[in-house]
Structure 1
Amino acid sequence: MTTVTSAWTVPSFRLFWSAGALSRLGAEVGEIALPALTLITLGATAMEASWVRTALVAPFLAVTLWFGVVVDRRPRRPLMILADWVRGILLAAVCVLALTNTLTIPVAVGAAFAIGTMTVLYQLADFSFLPQFVPEDALVDANSKITATESAIETAGSGVGGLIVQAVTAPVAIAVNAVGYLASALLIGRLRVTEPPPEPATAETADRPAASPSTVAERSAIAEARDGLKVLIRHPILRALAAEASLWNFGHEILMLALAVQMLAGLPAGPLIFGAVVTCGGIGALVGSLLSPRLTRRFGYGRSLLVSLIVGNTAPLIGMVIVAFIPAVLVPGLAVAFLLSGLGSGVADSQSTSIRQLALPAEFRGRVNAGYRLVSWGALSIGAILGGTLITLIGPVGAAVSGAALMALATVPVALSPVRGIRAINEVAADRLGED
């Protein structure tokens, strides 16, 4: 049986969890507020909305590898604080410009790129920071609690975001997003964790004694980033998880942009309906994340991960096909599809994150996770710009079905990989840099 210890026994985790919850609450409101701001407040076309969304996620392609090296070289906590402050201030500025009718699409694109850049930095630092103060036997529970909290906030945040947009406009909802980031920065500033100095390593010497600091200083950031990609590509488990995440993100970006255009721009109560549908996904994810530790203990990592991916990744496609043939069931059909999709994702997310964190030595987590983010989150920018093109060419329903089909295909790399045979987490940690 797999051992899973409660993360609540770690005092630093409770403060870290609180900061993440506030940040996530603001971000979830922003998930509804940003497309509403572009489509409703600015009156953008589907293509213009895709430009803003692309700018928000393009940094995952542009700066991920570089930031991965930065995260491995520097303490993570100050980087997270910096990212939160910058995001909060930029969103507050966007709110003021929108309320004074001086916000334009080019300005929104520029602000989105800067905010996305700080999001990359925060997420890379966050991923590498958590294992520094949470023991390995509590890491699964920590990730499960974070996933459950994010799911609960997604449930509330999306609905609240839709309500705020519907009642008092998108700029006010953007302000709520800003407050969440600023509050998170203040809480992380109170977190007292002694971070060990970075340990030098390369893909070729990861199993050997660490090199001297002077040797590491001589190595270029490009070389270190390349090492991270090498480890990611040659590790069969991480490679499969990265392929799954890339396909899922690619398809999900197309799906969500198409639904935003169809609902926000095409329905009188669009923000409320869109928020309600996304909320269903959050409810499912909350239930799934709460079940994740229990399923892990009962069936092991691989089996429960694979089954949850099959359910979660396939549900949107089934829902969109039904909606395409029976438009009258748009809202209930998507609500059920998102509920099932969230359920599968909630089970899978905490498991896959724990596997990724423990499959690598600490000195490699930043840059390998950067490579993972590059290929997985980098797919978002491609999906965003392609989504705008598909909506223009074949309409929002056809584009949404196409995106959902890509999400369904995302399970294949994991099904064909060694991931499905993992029973206990120590099986991954024991072979941190395993090769085919």
Structure 2
Amino acid sequence: MSGLGAEIGELALPSLALITLGATAAEASWVRAAMLAPFLLVTLWFGVIVDRRARRPLMIGADLVRGAVLVLVCLLALGGWLTIPLLIAATAVLGTMTVLYQLADFAFLPQIVPERHLIGANAKITATQSAIQIAGSGVGGALVQVLTAPIAVVMNALGYLLSGLLISRVRLPEPRPGAAELRPGAVEPWPGAVELRPGAVELRPGAPVRRSAIAEAKTGLSLLLRHPILRALAAEAALWNFGNEIFMLALAVHVLGDAAAGPMILGLIVTCGGVGAFVGSVSSARLTARYGYGRSLLVSLVLGNTAPLLGVLGAALVPAGAFPFLSAAFLISGIGIGVANSQSTSIRQIAVTEEVRGRVNAGYRLASWGALSIGALVGGVLTTILGPVAAALAGTAVMALASLPVALSPARHVRTIEEVAPRSPLLTGRPS
């Protein structure tokens, strides 16, 4: 429900800015950047909170706040009181709560699913999200076209509110995560992963050690940067997200403005990406088992990251065929992304232990999703100066280059994701 609402919102919010409020490309980019800036500003701190608190209440609270904010946005729009600055403020709150929800969600899943089943579980979740994207993009475009953007925003709000209600019905014992215990003889997950100066803390058998939030956030970021495969995945995601934000803003401005094709056409193009992602996600576990993690990951990334550039080139050279070219590009890209996403998510959950999972994922989100806000602002500048077609070419070129960090990393040699699990337990003494 949360994903369905968000997919509707992906079309409803930019349509609300561009059509209802008459925003320029630069103003639309500020609305988008406000949604994404929290990934740069609060991700590391929320990662600490997720590792210190029970995850389920955080997810419920984030959903309820997002739903309430969107209901308020709809009321302001229907009353004629909504302005670009108010929409920017509202999207900033939405983005902040989305950061909290996603970090808690990522750390919550491994508490439910055993490690050996994570690839299958993430593949099923990715497939579900892809199916939702198919429905949400099409429904979102139709809702905006027929019922106007403010009504579509209400549907987004209902998705979040229903999501919070459903998660509140999950009955899973979730003791509050305690401070990590440092015991004599504790070992690191890989050499140099955690460095503590002698005498920095007093180590007593069984005595919990609570460090500052800044120190804990730095530990998560350090673990991410020291792990060669996680570092490569973060770099790939950051480059792809940066380029994709430029591409999607330019595409929205071109389809909704210059080409005057309307929200429904944009929704149909994006829906093709959801169809491809569904096909890729349901094939992910099978491809991994047959060809190995590294090989299938790299091939799927190259496929998914390069297709948008080819689609934009085709649309630019043959404007009359822009719709089929872009639709095919989204479909092929979705297949590659569908395969890669479940693999990437699984390896990031397995590569570190539960005690630091929230903080390491926060570092990953800081790099990958933080690039979105920068891409949104750069996209607004490029679209204004160069025009939407040239900006789309620039964005998709960056997306095509995103596969390089993974291609140059040890990830391409990995057969199973268990190979990257910590060789020794971190602090707890449990077998990895």
Query: TM exceeds 0.5?
Result: yes
Matches within 5 A, 1:182-197: 182-197=161-176
Q: How does 1:1-150 map to 2 (within 5 A)?
A: 22-150=1-129
Asked if 1:333 corresponds to 2:312, the answer is no
Aligned to 1:342: 334
Residues 235-384 of structure 1 aligned to structure 2 (within 5 Å): 235-384=227-376
Deviations 1:236-275 (A, max 9, x none): 0100000000000000000000000001123444101100
1:287-326 per-position Cα deviation (integer Å, ceiling 9, x unaligned): 0001101101111111111000010000001111111222
Distance 2:209 2:81 in 1: 48
Q: How does 1:395-434 map to 2 (within 5 A)?
A: 395-431=387-423
User: Is the Cα–Cα contact under 8 Å of residues 361 and 432 in structure 1 kept in the other structure?
Assistant: no
Per-residue deviation, residues 3-23 of structure 1 (Å, max 9, x unmatched)? xxxxxxxxxxxxxxxxxxx11
Distance 2:111 2:249 in 1: 37
Separation in 2 of the partners of 1:40 and 1:349? 33
> Partner of 1:228 in structure 2?
220
> Could you give the per-residue CA deviations for residues 5-57 of structure 1, whole angstroms, max 9, x where no partner exists?
xxxxxxxxxxxxxxxxx110000000010100000000000000000000000
SS in 2 for 1:317: helix
| TM-aligned CA deviation for residue 425 of structure 1 | 2.2
Out of 370, 380, 392, the residue aligned to residue 388 of structure 1 is: 380
Contact 1:23 1:184 in 2 (8 A): yes
* Rounded Cα–Cα distance in structure 2 between residues aligned with 1:202 and 1:419: 31
More off after superposition, 312-321 vs 417-426:
417-426
Unaligned runs of 5+ in 2: 195-202, 427-432
Distance 1:395 1:290 in 2: 38
Alpha-carbon distance change, 47 to 201 in structure 1, aligned in 2, over 3 angstroms: same
Query: 135, 140, 148: which one pairs with 1:169?
Result: 148
Structure 1 residue 211, shift from structure 2 partner: 7.9
Distance 2:351 2:241 in 1: 22
Identity level (%): 64
Which one-letter code corresponds to 2:209 in the other structure? V
For residues 386-408 of structure 1, give each alpha carbon's deviation from its aligned partner in whole angstroms, at most 9, with x where no partner exists.
Answer: 00000011000000000000000
Comparing 262-271 with 123-132, greater Cα deviation is found at 262-271
Shift of the alpha carbon at 1:206? 4.4
Q: Deviations over 1:59-105 (max 9, x none)?
A: 00010000000000000000000000000000011011111111000
Per-residue deviation, 1:213:
8.7
Give the TM-score normalised by the residue count of structure 2.
Answer: 0.92
Counterparts of 1:212 and 1:111, CA distance in 2: 48
Secondary structure at the aligned position of 2:258 is classed as coil
Q: Which amino acid in the other structure matches residue 386 of structure 2? A: I
Structure 1 residues 44 and 430: CA distance shift in structure 2, 3 A: same
Residue 17 of structure 1 aligns with which residue? none
Q: Supply the AA of the counterpart residue of 2:360.
A: V
Alignment of 1:205-224 (within 5 A): 206-207=188-189, 215-217=208-210, 219-224=211-216
Q: Structure 1 residues 264, 205: closer, same or farther in 2, change over 3 A?
A: farther
Between the two proteins, the alignment pairs up a number of residues equal to: 411
Shift of 1:190: 0.5
Change (3 A) 1:371 1:325: same
Secondary structure at the aligned position of 2:209 is classed as helix
The structure that is helix-richer by fraction is 1
- Residue 229 of structure 1 aligns to which amino acid in structure 2? L
Counterparts of 1:36 and 1:354, CA distance in 2: 34
Residue 327 of structure 1 and its aligned partner are, at CA, apart by 1.5
Structure 2 Cα separation of the partners of residues 144 and 233 of structure 1: 26
SS of aligned partner of 1:98: helix
Q: CA deviation at 1:431?
A: 3.5
**Counterparts in 2 of 1:227 and 1:360: CA distance versus 1, 3 Å:** same
Distance, in Å, in 2 between the alignment partners of 1:228 and 1:202 is 16
Distance 1:319 1:220, change over 3 A: same
Given that 1:281 and 1:339 are in contact with CA atoms closer than 8 Å, whether structure 2 keeps it comes out as yes
**What secondary structure, in the 3-state scheme, does the structure 2 residue paired with 1:216 have?**
coil
Conserved? CA contact 1:359–1:433, under 8 Å: no
Do the aligned residues in 2 keep the contact of 1:315 with 1:338 (CA within 8 Å)? yes
Asked if the contact 1:92–1:174 (Cα under 8 Å) also holds between the matched residues in 2, the reply is: yes
User: Which sits farther off after the overlay, 316-325 or 221-230?
Assistant: 316-325
Larger radius of gyration: 2
Decide whether the 8 Å contact of 2:284 with 2:343 is kept in 1. Answer: yes
Q: Distance in 1 between matches of 2:257 and 2:99?
A: 29
Letter in 2 for 1:423: R
Q: TM-score normalised to the size of structure 1? A: 0.91
Give secondary structure in 1 for the equivalent of 2:23.
coil
Aligned residue in 1 for 2:177: 198
Quick one: distance in 2 between partners of 1:387 and 1:211?
A: 53
Q: For residue 216 of structure 1, what is the amino acid of its counterpart?
A: V
In structure 2, distance between residues paired with 1:360 and 1:102 = 48
